[in-house]
Every structure is written in C-alpha cells, then in structure tokens.
Chain A
Amino acid sequence: MTRQNKPVDVVLVGLGWTSSIMGMEMTEAGLEVLALERGKDQNTVPDFAYPQMADELTYGVRYKLMSAPADSTVTVRHSSQDVAVPYRQLGSFLPGNGVGGAGTHWNGHTWRPMPEELRLRSYVEEKFGADIIPEDMTIQDFGVSYEELEPHFDFFEKILGVSGTAGNIKGEIQPGGNIFEGPRQAPFPLPPLQRTLNDTVFENAAKIKGFHPFPLPAANASEAYKNPYGMQLGPCNYCGFCERYGCINNSKASPQTCVLGALKQRKNFSYRTGCEVIKINKDSSGKKATGVTYIDPNGDEVFQPANLVIVGSYAYHNVRLLLLSEIGKPYDPVSNTGVVGRNYAYQMVGGATLFFKDKNFNPFIGAGGNATVIDDFGTNQIDFKKEGFIGGSYIFAAMTNGQPIRNMPLPSGTPSWGADWKKAVKANYGHTMTIGTHGSNMSYRDCYLSLDPTYKDKHGLPMLSMTFNWKENDIRMTQFMKKQIEGIVEVMKPDHVDYSFKDFGSEYDVRPYQTTHNVGGAVMGTDPATSVLNRYLQSWDVHNVFVMGSSAFPQNIQYNPTGLVGALTYWSAKAIREKYLPNPGPLVQV
C-alpha cells in the first residue's frame, strides 16, 4: 500500500548540481523544499577523507562512487533493427549516485558554450545555407540566447570558484584567454591553476603554429576562496586523485563544497536519501502534477504530494522518469512524431599520446582541470561548407589522474604482458603526455531514447534504452581534428606518437570510458512538436514540472556540459520565481 507524506511546495528529484541550485533558489523564494535522492548521503568528511580516498583500485577502477549497474542501468543498441542489450558493466559513461551526484567525482572542466552553439541551426542556415544540413540530422536552436544566459554563467562560475583567464570581457579581447569565447561581464573569480610541463610544451608548439592557447577554466580552486553562498574552498594541492574521486581538500567545486553546506542551514529545506522516485503523479486532467511516488529505503512505496516537481536526476534518468510517468508524447523515429527521447546525443572525443624519453612529466601531480587548450577549431571558427561537416572541438593537453593501473600508456607495438611489457612500463611511465579533442555531437532522427521492451530494473520497471551510433558528419569532424593535432605534434617532436581517433565505420563502443556527457531526450526549444520543454525548461504538457540538466540540449555542444547545465538551472529558477510563482501556468503560449 502506498503511504502518503505531508505535502511540500517543491519536490526535487535527485540531489546533484541542478537540484542543489534549485534548492537554494526555491528556499530563497520562501517555499518549503524537499529533495529525494536515491543514493546515500556523502560529505568530504568522512566519505572523501585522506588517506582512504587515495585508492585507485576502489574508486578509479571499481567505481565506488558511481551508480552500480546492478542498481540502475540502460540497454544499448546501434540501430532500431538491433536488439538492445544491457550496459552491464560501467565503461563508456559513469553516472553519479548519492548526495552531490556526479558533481562529487567530476573533473571540474567548466565551460560556457559558444553563442553560436545555442542557436546552431539558425547559425548554420544563415552562414552556410540550410542545404548543408543532412536530412536525418535533427539539430535545433536551444531557444535561449547566450546573452540571456550570461549573468547566470557568471554567477555559477562564482559559485564554483572557477580558476581561469578570461578571453573576452565585455567585447574586449584579453590576451592569454580564449579569444573565441562569447563576451563575459567579469573575469573568472580565481586566477588559473599553475602550469605543468605538458601544457607548457603544448602551449609553445601551439603558439608556433599561430594558435591561441589558454588555461582551461577549472573548478579546482587555485587559491583559497569564499563563494557568494559563504562556502569556503581551500587551494587545490594537485593531489592527482580528482576525477572519479571525492576531493580530500574542499578544493574541487561540488554540490557539497559549494552549495549544500549553505542549503542545509535553511529551515525550509530538507532531504531524504535512499529514496528512488519512480513516477511523477498527475491529476485527472493530466495537465498538472500532484507530486511524486518513490520507493523508500525499506522498499515501501510512498506518495509525496507537491505543488511543483523539479526533476534533476541526470540527463537520461530524467527522460526515463518522463516516459514512466507518461508526461509528453514518446518519440517515434518511424513516424518522426513525439518528443520524449528525441535527439539523444553524446560526445566525440579523440587523442594523441606522445612519448618523450627526455621529459619527466610527473603525471601523478595534477588537478582535474589542469590543462591548456586551443579553441582555434571551435564551432564558430570552421567553414562547415568547405570542410563538409557541422561541429567543432577544443584541443587540449591535460595532466590529471596519473595513477598507474589506468594511466599506463605504452608505445604501440609493446606487448601487453611479460618481460618486455614491464620494461616498457619502467621506461615510459612519467614520460608521456596526451593531446585530446573534445568535440560536439550532432543529433539524428535515429538516435534516441525509449523504454526497453525486455529488461527491467530492480523494481520491475522497464529500463531505458539508448539507440545510438556514430555518423559520418561527426567522424569527418574528428578526422579533421586529428589533422590539426598532427600539425602540432610535428612541432613537438616526440620520440613516438600514437593516435586514437574514430574512423569511418567505427561503431559506438560501450567499453572504453569516453565522457559522461550524455545529452538530449527531453530537449528545450520553441516548438512543442520538436521539444519536451519550453525555453524555461518547463514541460509543455504539465506546467508544474520543470526538468533540469543536459537532457535539455538538442545536440551536444563541443564543451563539457556542466557550465551550461548550471546556467540553465539558474535561468529556469529565475523564471519560476519571477513569472511562474505569481501566476502558475504555461510560461510560453503557442
């Protein structure tokens, strides 16, 4: 039997970055807010305390902080002709779990998109003509502009304490920063992290080639810092255990270090852990949510009434919850109708590994966001018509997480075991660096999310299914980036170099880690026929449901998503506070 709780004003699904921000905004508006998080509570002390955090096997290799597939996973297939099979072991992407979500074990690369990326279809049509967009490519505009989001990027960067060098302040180009970025109102709150040998070597080569290197904006505090919520960050000590780990040092921005300490002080905020939301309930009209149903730690079903449901359970979990709750019409790729699940996209990455006998990189010394970047091949810098693809990448040299089980690149041709393997390990550990590309991924008619017909989760509910594969456009883009890197590597003159870029015919592979930058499926936009949410991240169909996170991206930007995810959350919060609360109902009429 379903138990019923006392009603609240706002229920937040999940407690990662998006819900933590919403918690601040909604409590500030005077509302009573409850967050339901399926995972456990976790804090810097005792959960991330030194020395047990410095354990590569437990956290880096066995994924102790991530969501275990035994608890929750998806099924995957390359095309709708295939039978989807479960993502049984983590590999390609590593979803978060527990208070703080993936924001506890991210790296901290913090980007704003290029203004053109938020209006990608319009940009391409205006500049190159609609005919260069392949017929099955379903790219769209976000429906919100860079200028509208700018104050929210700025505030989110101040919450995170981002370390970096600005490239464009109010239209004035700043040498040493990213000269291709959109104008920002203020510099980054902290100066960049210290440079390591790898990025100095890369920076010199990039400059020789005429490119414009700059330090990657990092949510790893370069100095002691107090954010606008009064939360205190300590200077990063380049501990080397960053991505996949909780920060031992209160240096990496996480919901815990930047938001939750302040939020938990508020009397009108509470949260419950071990509570997995399985449905958003609706009233008889189907146009209004009445609250959510969750499974509590005892396995009991509980109904939590709420006036406002804000979903922040991570990109593809958001989509599944909408499908399970029958909110919005499910997408059907055959008839090309419906919206929920439409425009799932991922990220196109590639890289080169360079070996230098005479260089000692000390790869174990590094922060999550410790990198030098060039954006000379960003989305707004490429002639799509001439090059034959749509998209772009930033190119970066990073030194991070140099632990020996996972981070042991050896020159191609080295045996994988035996005496010669060991000799190569001894000769090469500490003498390699990488140059990577982190690129956009377009959306397509046949890449989408749906409910799986066969596989169920531990509650007996259908799992989410991903239908996804690489497309020619995106392979062309990554091959173009490879050429640019080859030019830089030529200047650097390593003793040996290996390239790893997807080639024509490569299929999506769930085994190697790529990024946890899954996007789309509940996209925002201006037309309810092609989007699930309006430009304020409000459901077109059920007006008191708002959905946060990268599920709103209609295709993937070339950057890591969280800067945009955070800014969109503040943008939506402002709309809720200023427009929705005084006058509840659809914020956009069509």
Chain B
Amino acid sequence: MMNIKKTLNNSRRKFLKEATIAISVVAMAPNLVIPTLAQPLDIDLGEYKPSYFSANEWAFILAATDRLIPADATGPGALDTNVPVFIDKQMQGRFGNALDWYMQPPFLSAKPEMGYQSSLTPAQTYRQGIKATEDYCHQTYQKSFAELSDSEKDMVLSQLQLGEIQFSDLSSMQFFSFLLQNTKEGYFADPIHSGNKNLASWKMIGFPGARASFKEWVAYPNVEYPLGPVSIEGERG
C-alpha cells in the first residue's frame, strides 16, 4: 500500500474501515454533504491527481498556497496540510459551482457594500484568475508564477490582493480573496474535507477539533486545555 505514514497504523486503518461504514449510513440522510471516501484521507500531495485543475493551474495553486501559508518553525504550511487538495475538491462541489448563491442576471456593478455581484462562479474565477496571473507573470518576468523567486511571488500576490494588477474580465481582488479564504479554510477545516492533514493546524493553535464536550472543562478558567484534537472521523492528534 502506498503512502503508509506512521499515523496509519493498524488501529487507524481499522477505524477508517468502521468510519466508512458509519458514514455511508449517515450519507443516506438527504442533503448532508459528507464527502465520499473514494480517496483515503491520508493523501500524499505529491501523488495527488487534481480533478478540477489542469497541470499548469495546479502548479500555480501549489506555489501560491505555499506562499500564503509557508512552512516554517512556527508550524506546518499549506502544502504540509494538503490545502491544495482541499481547494481542488471545493471547486467541484457546491462552493466551486456557486450552487447555493443567487446567480441569475442581470449582473450589475454596485458598491462593494452590496456584496458579490459577479456572474462567475468561484471555479470559473480561479480558472480565469490563474490564467490572467500567469499572463501577467510571463509579460513581466518571462516566467510562470511557480518559477518566480519567493519575493517575486509575494509581490505578485500582494498586487492581486490590492487590485494593483488589473484583469480585463474579472477582479483580481476577488480572485485573490477566494484563494486566501479557501487556503485558510483548507488549513483549519476538519480533515474530512481533505485539508488540515494530521490535524496539524489544530495542534499548532491548541484547538481540540470535534471534541464538542466540555461540561467538566468549563470550570477551569485560564488553564490550558490538556487534550489534543480529534477529527470527525476519530483521528487523533
């Protein structure tokens, strides 16, 4: 079996099996989004084949999320925690396709206070945003985004964030804002959504995840909570 990590010991494998059974029962309840376990959660980022992003887009996503949350002595980065996998999966679901949003015309321009008014879904925004950013990088640096130095990458990302790079067909700020929002979501969400691998971000900040039971602990103010995180599938960190 590929990618056997220390965490995937026998008991975890046994647990995953049971969890798969339990989850398939839950998944019969209508309208519950429980991602299928077609791919095991212990995904190796290097081996992962994105299903929404093309190879070039994927190179951008890997490089960009790595700058948004870099790995360092403080804690794990976006790549350690499979944030790109999370984003790829989000593109194919309700979020990526804006299925819950009102997406009927006419699309008028309005003050920012009036909220999202673009006709593009997040998945379309990523596709067009990555292409426009790559075009910009080729024009300015004669390189693709992933080939830039770290400081050049940071410069481009900041310019997107501030709207200093203008795209003809979409807002660079909107594109960046999805990218940043989804990167943080993939970092902090339950691993059931394919990010936050090994509960690493939760361990870094001391969030106990899905424990959701603190009747005894509420009585200990100013004492650091002693137990590590658990995930919805019962993984422990």
Contacts and interface: CB of A to CB of B under 8 A. Distances in A.
Given A63-B100, A405-B184, A510-B115, A237 B215 contact: yes
Given A197-B222, A240-B214, A418-B70, 15 more contacts: A46-B29, A55-B189, A56-B189, A61-B189, A70-B103, A78-B111, A83-B110, A364-B207, A364-B214, A404-B205, A419-B70, A426-B204, A508-B113, A510-B114, A511-B112
Interface stretch (A85-93, A280-288, A581-589): A85-93
A430 interface: yes
Interface string A392-426: 00000000000111001000000011110111011
16 contacts: A55-B189, A58-B33, A68-B99, A69-B102, A85-B108, A88-B103, A90-B100, A197-B222, A362-B225, A405-B189, A416-B180, A418-B68, A418-B154, A422-B70, A429-B207, A510-B115
Contacts of B232: 51-52, 54-55
Closest 9 CB pairs of A and B: A197-B221, A54-B210, A68-B100, A239-B212, A69-B102, A57-B189, A429-B205, A509-B113, A365-B214
Given A54-B232, A240-B214, A425-B205, A87 B115 contact: yes
A419 B108 CA distance: 38
B215 A235 contact: yes
Contacts of B225: 362, 364-365
A364 B75 contact: no
B67 A418 contact: yes
Interface residues of B, number: 69
Contacts, number: 189
A53 B222 CA distance: 27
A61 B185 contact: yes
B43 interface: no
A253 B208 CA distance: 25
A87 B102 contact: yes
Contact of A404 (B32, B69, B201, B217): B201
A195 B218 CA distance: 8
Interface of B: 26, 29-34, 67-70, 72, 74-75, 94-95, 99-104, 106, 108, 110-117, 154, 157, 161, 180, 183-185, 188-190, 192-193, 201-202, 204-215, 217-225, 232, 234
B29 A47 contact: yes
A426 B221 CA distance: 20
A5 interface: no
A62 B217 CA distance: 29
Interface of A: 40, 46-47, 49-58, 61-64, 68-70, 73, 76-78, 83, 85-91, 194-197, 200, 235-241, 248, 359-360, 362, 364-366, 403-405, 408, 416-419, 421-423, 425-426, 429-430, 454-456, 507-511
Interface centre among B75, B154, B221, B223 (most CB of A within 10 A): B221
B102 A70 contact: yes
A62 B100 contact: yes
A138 to B, nearest CB: 24
B184 A419 contact: no
A194 B188 contact: no
A511 B114 CA distance: 7
Nearest to A89: B116
B170 to A, nearest CB: 16
Contacts of A68: 99-101
Contact of B207 (A73, A194, A403, A510): A403
A70 B100 contact: yes
A91 to B, nearest CB: 6
Given A69-B101, A248-B212, A507 B34 contact: no
